[in-house]
Amino acid sequence: MVLLAPQVFAQTTEPVKVEVSTEKANINGVIYYVHKVQAHQTVYSICKAYGVSTEELLKANSSLKDGLKAGNILFIPVVEKKDQADKVSTEKTNEQLRAEDRTVAPDETQYRTHRVRWYESLRSIAKKYKVSEESIVILNGLTDTELHSRQILKIPNEGEQIVAEQKKEEITQPDEEEISNIVVEQYEHKKISAKEATAKINHLKTIKHFTEDNPATVTLILPFNSQSSNPSDNYFDFYSGALMAINELKERGLSINLNTIDLSSYSWKGEILENELLKKSNLVIGPVDPQDIPLFSEYCKSHRIPFVSPLDHKADTLGIDNPYFFHVPASQLVQMSNLVNNIQHGHSDQVTIFYGSDSADRAYLQSIKALLDNNGIKYNAISYKITRGRVITDSLKRVMKRNVTHEVIVASEDEAFASDVVRNMQLLHLAKIPVRLYGSNKIRSFETIDTKFLYDLNLHISAPYYVDYSSAEAKRFVLQYRSLFHTEPSQFAFQGYDIFKYFLSALKDMGNDFMEYISFYPMNMIQCDFKFDRMSENGGYSNRATKDIEYIPEKYTISVQ
C-alpha cells in the first residue's frame, strides 16, 4: 500500500546508501518495513538493502509502476531467512499430504464436536481443525454445505476413541472456548460522580499502562482496495491522519502496535474474525460499511473489545444493547438537540418554525417541535407550499414585527424549500426586521443559497464536523501533513487523526479502564469534538459533541464553539 502516487524520477546521480528502516507495520497479518524514500534512491538499491525482489516490492506497492519519488512511503515485506522458508514450505507440504489422507470416510467413533458460530463456514471450520471439508460432510451426513448458528458438528479426530456417554456430554455442553463465544456476560456500568471520576482519571494518569513488551494493540479495518489499480484515496487519507496521531502518542510515551486490515482483500469476512490479531486487540476501529459494522461490532461485544464506528452516522442504534460500542459521528438527533439548546431565546424574542406544507420532512419537523417543547420554548409555526414562496413575503412582513428579534428555524433539509425560506428571511432583513437563522448543517452546502445571506442572517448550525483553518492546531496539522505526504489533508485525514488521537489518549491515560470513565473525558479536536454519553442502561456510547458554528454579520467571519 502506498499513500501517494509517485511521480517519475530521473536518476541523474549515484544511488545513495539505503538504511533498513526500524519502523514496521502489521497489515492483514503480514509484517512490512515502512520505508521513506530518500533522494537518489532507486528501486534496485531499495530491493537490495531489504533483500526482496523487484516483483515483491511492486506487488506490495502497485503505484511504483509510475516511478519513484523522494518522500514516498513504501511498504516492504519482511523476508524470512531461507532455511526458515524451506522449513515452512516442508511443513505445508506435509500438512497437505495429511489433509489428503483425511478425505476418506472417518470412523464415527473418532470425533469431537464443534458448535457453529454465526460467522463460520464449512471451509473455515475444516481449516481450523486441519481436516478436509469432505470428511465433515460425510461424518455429519450433510446434504447442504450451508451451516446455521449453534449447529453441532462432528469433527474427525483420528486416534482418539470417544465413548457414547462422552459424545452425548460434548454435544450438550460445549467446551469453555465455545461458551466464551456464545454467552456474553452482562457488562455492568459503574455509577460514579463527576468528582469521583475526575479523581480516578487523575490517578490512572500516573500509571504506565502499556510497555514495549505489552503495547496497546489497535486494529484498523477499512476497505483500502489496495490490491487494485484504483485504491481508496479517502481511506488512505484516514490512515495517514491516524499515523500522525500514533506518532504523537508514541512521542508522549505510549507503546502502540497497529494492525491494519484491508477489508476489500477478503471474499469471506469470517476469516478476519478467526484471526488472533483481532481477538487480542485493545481497541478496534472500523469498518465503515453498514453491512459490515454489525458483524464486527457483535464479534467485539462477544470478546469484550471496545469497538469504534468512525464514519457511519446511522450506526448508533447498534450500540443500544452493546456496552462496548462507540459511535463517533454525532447523529442528526444530537445535532438538532444541540441546535435547539443554542437558541438565544429571551423575553423580546419570538421563535418561529418554517416548514413546507408539502414537504416530506415530517420526522425532522416533529423532532424539532419535541425538542422545543422539552426545553420549554414557545414557538409559532408557519408552513407554505414552495410554489407560493414569492407571494407570501408581504404577509410575513405584517406578521413578523420590527421590535422583536425573530429566531427562525428552517425545519427542513429540502434544498428548494430551505433556499426559499432563506431568500424570504433576507428580504425581511433588508426591511429592517431582526432575524437570526437556525438550520440543518446541510444548508451550508446548498448551492442555491447565497453565502452572503447566511452571514446577514446570523446563521447558527450544529455540525458533526468542521475545521477552523485559522486555528493554531489546524495550521500545525496542515503544515505537518504537507511535509509528510506532499498533498493537502482531506476531511478523512482530519477524521483519522482526531479519532486515533482521542482514543489513544484515553488508552494512555486510563489503560483498559477507559470505558468506565469515558463520559468524563471530553476533548475538542481539529475537526470532530468528543463527549461520549451512554445510549441506554446496558448500552454503549454515542458522541454528543458538535461544532456549534455561527456566521457573524458585518465581519463576515465564522465563530466555532
Q: Left, alpha or beta for 225 (phi > 0: left; psi -120 to 50: alpha)?
A: left
Strand partners for 461: 549
Separation in Å, CA 230 to CA 5, 62, 205, 289: 11, 10, 43, 18
Same domain assignment for residues 163 and 217: no
Asked if residue 551 is part of any domain, the answer here is: no
Contacts 24+ apart (CB under 8 A), 20-25: 20/49, 20/50, 21/76, 24/78, 25/75, 25/258, 25/260
**pLDDT tens-digit series, residues 96-131:** 434 444 434 444 446 788 888 766 778 778 878 888
Asked if residue 251 is part of any domain, the answer here is: yes
What burial class does residue 65 get, using C-beta atoms within 10 Å of its C-beta: 0-12 exposed, 13-18 middle, 19+ buried? exposed
Same domain assignment for residues 203 and 314: yes
Q: Which residues of the chain have pLDDT under 70?
A: 1-15, 26, 28-29, 62-63, 65-66, 80-110, 118-119, 144, 149, 158-190, 346-348, 359
Asked if residue 554 is part of any domain, the answer here is: no
Contacts of 135 (CB under 8 A, 6+ apart): 102, 103, 104, 105, 106, 126, 156
Separation in Å, CA 396 to CA 145, 413, 454, 465: 68, 21, 19, 34
Which CATH number fits the domain that encloses residue 533?
3.40.50.2300
Asked if residue 469 is part of any domain, the answer here is: no
Same domain assignment for residues 262 and 343: no
Residue 529: predicted pLDDT: 96
Domain boundary among 36, 60, 79: 79
Contacts of 414 (CB under 8 A, 6+ apart): 356, 359, 360, 361
Q: What is the 3-state secondary structure (H, E, C) of 517-553?
A: HHHHCCECCCCCCECEEECCCCCCEEECCCEEEEEEC
Same domain assignment for residues 448 and 342: yes
Asked if residue 188 is part of any domain, the answer here is: no
Residue 26: predicted pLDDT: 67
Domain boundary among 151, 180, 209: 180
Cα–Cα dist 296/293, whole Å: 5
pTM of the model: 0.69
Q: In terms of DSSP bridges, do strands 73-77 and 307-309 run parallel, antiparallel, or are they unpaired?
A: unpaired
Q: How many domains are there within the chain?
A: 4
Cα–Cα dist 258/221, whole Å: 11
Q: In terms of DSSP bridges, do strands 541-543 and 532-534 run parallel, antiparallel, or are they unpaired?
A: antiparallel
Backbone angles phi, psi at 287, to 5 degrees: -80, -165
**pLDDT tens-digit series, residues 400-454:** 888 889 999 999 989 999 999 999 999 999 999 999 999 999 998 899 999 999 9
Same domain assignment for residues 406 and 432: yes
Strand partners for 155: 112
Cα–Cα dist 354/365, whole Å: 9
Q: Which of 237, 218, 226 shows the shortest CA–CA distance to 286?
A: 218
Q: Looking up cell 447566511, which residue turns up?
A: 454
Asked if residue 550 is part of any domain, the answer here is: no
Q: Which of 291, 330, 328, 277 shows the shortest CA–CA distance to 307?
A: 328
* Dihedral sign (CA 295, 301, 303, 307): positive
The domain in which residue 116 lies consists of 84-180
Same domain assignment for residues 303 and 250: yes
Domain boundary among 22, 50, 79: 79
Asked if residue 429 is part of any domain, the answer here is: yes
